[in-house]
Structure formats: structure tokens, C-alpha cells
């Protein structure tokens, strides 16, 4: 029994130090966290990237190429709006980068060129306390043939949207 007590007495400072390091790392990660809630409000920290998959939902409508709307249930574009803000105050404004990647139609990246994702930001830089509005518009490109149209008509469009705030 005394050997176990000596072993514990000898290594408890090391165990305590490891617990403190892990706690510090998780605390920093929480402090510099990135969040997106269901209301399209996004909070980001400096130097970290928030990425999430967007699955295009036309809300009962059918996305069609520009100029081909024939019925009330068809739309030429689907728009999402996000408000991006910083999690803390910085001395200087940060550059806001918004990028699109991993475009797919029905999980097929080869069909990605059949739709466009256009991003418009209300500002190129972001300050604490003043959110930047980011508008993302999805459009369907006109296919050259009926066979191409049949490949994409009524299919699920998805892409990854990434937000990053960084120093100039």
C-alpha cells in the first residue's frame, strides 16, 4: 500500500499539470469559437474558419435557369442572407473572406458547373459590434442539351460555405 501512495505522491503534480493544460486548451477553443445558429447569425473569431454545408432548399419551388420560369412554382434564384459578427473587439477591423467549395448536384462534383453561387458582402472588413450582411444567391446555369438538363432537373444542390476573419 505504501508503494502506491509514494507513486501517487510522486506523479500528482504531473497529472495536475496535464489537467491544467487540457483545461486551458479547451477554454481557449471555446473563447475563440465559431458559431452559426438557425437564424443565420454567424459569430467568428480571428484567424479561425467557420465552414458548413448548405443544402439548397427551394421551399416547394423548382429552381430553373434564368429566363425559363413558366409557372408560379418555379424560381430563377434562391437567396440566403447571413449576418456575420466578431466574438470580441479588435484594435483594427479584420478582413472578411467568404468562400464556396465542394459544389455538388446529388453528391456529384462533376455536375457542379451547372449552378452558380454568387456572394455579396455589405463590407469587406468587419468590426466588433457591427455585423456584415452576406447575401448568397444560387442560380442554375442553362444546360446545352436536354440530356444535361435531365441530369440536374429536380436534383439536390449543395456546397460548403466558409467564413474567415483575418488581419490585413
pLDDT tens, residue by residue, 70-116: 777 788 888 889 888 877 767 777 788 888 999 998 888 988 888 99
pLDDT score recorded for residue 120: 93
C-alpha span between 75 and 62 (Å, rounded): 6
**Residue ranges in the chain whose pLDDT is less than 70:** 1-5, 7-8, 24-39, 46, 48, 89, 128
Report whether 40 contacts 83 (CB < 8 A): yes
Beta bridge partner(s), residue 79: 137
Q: How many CB atoms lie within 10 A of CB 167?
A: 11
Q: What is the pTM of this model?
A: 0.69
C-alpha span between 156 and 67 (Å, rounded): 21
Tell how far CA 98 is from the center of its chain: 8
pLDDT score recorded for residue 70: 72
Amino acid at each position: 500500500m505504501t508503494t502506491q501512495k509514494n507513486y501517487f505522491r510522486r506523479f500528482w503534480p504531473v497529472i495536475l499539470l496535464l489537467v491544467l493544460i487540457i483545461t486551458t486548451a479547451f477554454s481557449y477553443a471555446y473563447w475563440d469559437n465559431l458559431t452559426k445558429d438557425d437564424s443565420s447569425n454567424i459569430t467568428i473569431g480571428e484567424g479561425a474558419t467557420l465552414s458548413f454545408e448548405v443544402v439548397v432548399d427551394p421551399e416547394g419551388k423548382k429552381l430553373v435557369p434564368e429566363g425559363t420560369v413558366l409557372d408560379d412554382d418555379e424560381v430563377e434564384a434562391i437567396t440566403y442572407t447571413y449576418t456575420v459578427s466578431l466574438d470580441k473587439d479588435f484594435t483594427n477591423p479584420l478582413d472578411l473572406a467568404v468562400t464556396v467549395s465542394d459544389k455538388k448536384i446529388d453528391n456529384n462534383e462533376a455536375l457542379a458547373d451547372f449552378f452558380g453561387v454568387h456572394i455579396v458582402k455589405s463590407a469587406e472588413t468587419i468590426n466588433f459590434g457591427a455585423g456584415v450582411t452576406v447575401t448568397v444567391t444560387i442560380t442554375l446555369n442553362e444546360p446545352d442539351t436536354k440530356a444535361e438538363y435531365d441530369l440536374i432537373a429536380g436534383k439536390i444542390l449543395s456546397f460548403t460555405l466558409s467564413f474567415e476573419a483575418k488581419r490585413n
